[in-house]
Every structure is written in C-alpha cells, then in structure tokens.
Structure 1
Amino acid sequence: MSVNEPTTRLVILISGRGSNMRSIIEAINHQQLDARVAAVISNRPDAAGLEYASSQSIPTKIIDHKAFADRESFDRALAQQIDEFNPDYVILAGFMRILTAEFVEHYQNKLINIHPSLLPKFKGLDTHQRAIDAGEKEHGASVHFVTAELDDGPVIMQAKVQVMPDDSAQTLAARVLEQEHQLYPAAIQKLVNVKQD
C-alpha cells in the first residue's frame, strides 16, 4: 500500500445499475472522496453495475440470493464475503434486499444507506409520489446508518429539492437522484473525516 493510498475501505452492495456506486467511484477518482472501494458485491448476476466496477479494476463478487433457502442463510453468506474485504463501511447503493437484524447488528455503525426522502418522512417505497400527494414543498434524500427498523437509523446528511407544482413522481425522482449522486460521496467523506480526527 502506497503512503498516499486512502485507508478507509468501502464495500458497496448493489442489485442493479449502481448509479450511486458509480458516483462514489467517480468521487474517489476525482479526489473528492478519500476512500477506496475494496469490492462491489451484488445479489444479482445480471446487475449492470458489476461491469462498471470491473472496468475500474475493482473486485466484484456475486452472492445470488436465489441460491439460498432463506434470508438468514443468504445474509450469513453475504457477511462472510464482505468480511473477507475487511471494510470500514458497507455501502448500500440500490441493494434491493431487506437485511436481517442479525446482519444489521453485525455491521452496527458501519452499514450506510441512501433513501430518497427527507427522513423521518416517507420511509419505505414510492417516496416521490407520496411527497407530492402530501403537498410537500420540499423533498430530497437522506444518507443514514442502517438499523434493524426500515429506513430508521441516524441521519448522516441530507440534500433537499423543491417540489414544483407541475412535478410528477418521475420528474421529482430525477432531480432527487441528481442530488443523491452528490450527497452520497459527501456523506461518506464526512464519516472519513470523523474517523481521521
């Protein structure tokens, strides 16, 4: 390891194209984030994000959830794979699996997620439509520590967008995603700074 190599190790979990994973890797490449991605792991063999990670010379692994009898055995296999890379933080970037309490506990204060709402508002799914239906003036995204309760852990950072009168769930989602791509690397850098202090 060279003297200048970042010491904060990330393992990123994805299930699809991994646009937030890409924004984290790009932030590292542009020296806006002082960390390194030790591995990208997907529960889906066809996740498009794996190809991008490989193109960046990042080790990729597949733990196909369909190969396991239940959630517990999948989570144990996933944790075993993650632990081989000895990460400081495990980053959920569009990882579409609900994780067991045992898994969450194993990575207490290390498991990070991004959620497309200003938590504690609109936990769960369909956040953009729900924000519009509720007449919200502001919406956004939150990076938070993961706890056993869905979308409930302590918030690390948030980004806000204005809800426009003519917004649809799609237009609002697109603006929130733009913010997510800036927010996630910034929130991880905030954790890195605290760790280094």
Structure 2
Amino acid sequence: MSKAGPIRLAVFASGSGSNFEALVKAIRKQTLEAEVALLVSDKPDAFALTRADTLAVPSVSFYPKQFPSKEVFEREVLDHLKEADIDLIVLAGYMRIIGQTLLEAFDNRIINIHPSLLPLYPGKQGIQDAFDAGDKETGVTVHLVDEGIDTGTILAQEKVVIDPDDTIESLEEKIHAVEHVLYPEVIQTYIKKLQKEYA
C-alpha cells in the first residue's frame, strides 16, 4: 500500500456489472482515487465482461466447476491477481463465497456490497427477502469480507424506503441507484485508511 501510483483494484462480478461500471466512472470523474486493473468473473457469459471490453478494462473469466477444488480455483485466480499487482478486491454482484486462499492473501482487503441492511437478509436474495417480508425500509451495506456469508465488519449502510406502490423491479432500481453512489465513496474512504496504515 505504500507503493507509488494509484491503488489497483480487482472487481469480481457474476452478473451485469452495473456496480463495476459505476466504479470505473467514479475513477474517471476522479471521485475515486484508484485504478480498476482487472475484472474477474466466475461466469464467462456475464454481461460484466462486455462492459469491461467497452470500458477497456482487462478481464479474466473461469468456469469454477472445471477445477478439482475451490482451493485450486482460488489459486488460479490469485495468480492473475498477483500478475496484475492488485491491492484490493472489490466484490460487485459476485455470487460465490470467498474461500481461505483469497481471504488469507487479501486479509482485510476484500470489500463487498450487499442489498440489505445487514445483519438482516444475508445471502443471494436480500432485495426479494425484504420485499416479501413487507418491510417499510431496506438498504445497502458495504462490508469487509470474512469466512461467513455477509458477516464481515460493516463499513457503511444507507437506508432505502420501500413505498407501498413499489414493485420488486422499482425497489431494485432504487437499491442500485444508492449502490452506485455509496460504493465508490466507501471504497475511497477505505483506501485512505489503508494508505495511512501501510505508510
């Protein structure tokens, strides 16, 4: 972290990659002082890879099931992260649980964004769970990643009101709009914290 030049991020994404694109745009607007050096996807048909091509960000993708174990898969990913000189991993709709290989290599340097007010509704369906429960509010949580599912130290949260006329689609849009602003801000703050610690 004490090296010269911008902090190099690897963004992990399994889906459309809208948060990935929001991070790249924040960097280009100079509100996030970093560089997205690599996009990693566990789904070779993910639209995030198309976004990476459009945004001229290097990318790699894998079929995890082709590896004999999670450890072997993560070692392969780790080789690419080392080759790209990555400082910080940012999960953006990455639907796999991070294992010990990456957790140990990037201790306190993996950040996730989750569409609920954790500890409420961890897991894959945070938006749907809050909607189905009839809650009046939900939100977005940015947290560090540990060995649990959405259990790491919370860095920031922002509430989102669920209006009576909201559909699941309109609620998703509201959540994503908050994510695209909150995530770059929290990452920027965390980078500054890391830089002080490693200085």
Q: Is 1:142–1:155's contact at 8 Å kept on the other side of the alignment?
A: yes
- In structure 2, the residue matched to 1:64 is 63
Counterpart-to-counterpart distance in 1, 2:149 and 2:183: 19
User: Would the alpha carbon gap of residues 195 and 175 (structure 1) be closer, same or farther in structure 2, given more than 3 Å must change?
Assistant: same
Counterpart-to-counterpart distance in 2, 1:185 and 1:101: 26
Counterpart-to-counterpart distance in 2, 1:191 and 1:102: 22
| Greater alpha carbon shift after TM alignment, 50-59 vs 154-163 | 50-59
- In structure 1, the residue matched to 2:156 is 157
Counterpart-to-counterpart distance in 1, 2:44 and 2:93: 15
Q: Post-superposition shift, 1:146?
A: 0.3
- In structure 2, the residue matched to 1:98 is 97
Unaligned runs of 5+ in 2: none
Unaligned runs of 5+ in 1: none
Letter in 2 for 1:136: D
Query: What is the count of residue pairs matched by the alignment?
Result: 193
Classify the secondary structure of the residue corresponding to 1:120. coil
Deviations 1:13-53 (A, max 9, x none): 11222110000000001111110011112122222222222
RMSD: 1.8
> Within the alignment, does 1:55 sit opposite 2:54 as a pair?
yes
Q: Is 1:143–1:156's contact at 8 Å kept on the other side of the alignment?
A: yes
Q: Post-superposition shift, 1:96?
A: 1.8
Classify the secondary structure of the residue corresponding to 2:129. helix
> Within the alignment, does 1:36 sit opposite 2:12 as a pair?
no
> Within the alignment, does 1:46 sit opposite 2:45 as a pair?
yes
Percent of aligned positions that are identical: 38
Counterpart-to-counterpart distance in 1, 2:21 and 2:30: 14
Give the TM-score of the pair, scaled to structure 2: 0.88
Q: Is 1:142–1:158's contact at 8 Å kept on the other side of the alignment?
A: yes
Classify the secondary structure of the residue corresponding to 2:147. coil
Give the TM-score of the pair, scaled to structure 1: 0.89
User: Would the alpha carbon gap of residues 14 and 148 (structure 1) be closer, same or farther in structure 2, given more than 3 Å must change?
Assistant: same
Classify the secondary structure of the residue corresponding to 1:147. coil
- In structure 1, the residue matched to 2:14 is 15
- In structure 1, the residue matched to 2:76 is 77
Counterpart-to-counterpart distance in 1, 2:149 and 2:43: 22
Deviations 1:90-138 (A, max 9, x none): 0111112122233323221001111100111111132223223444332
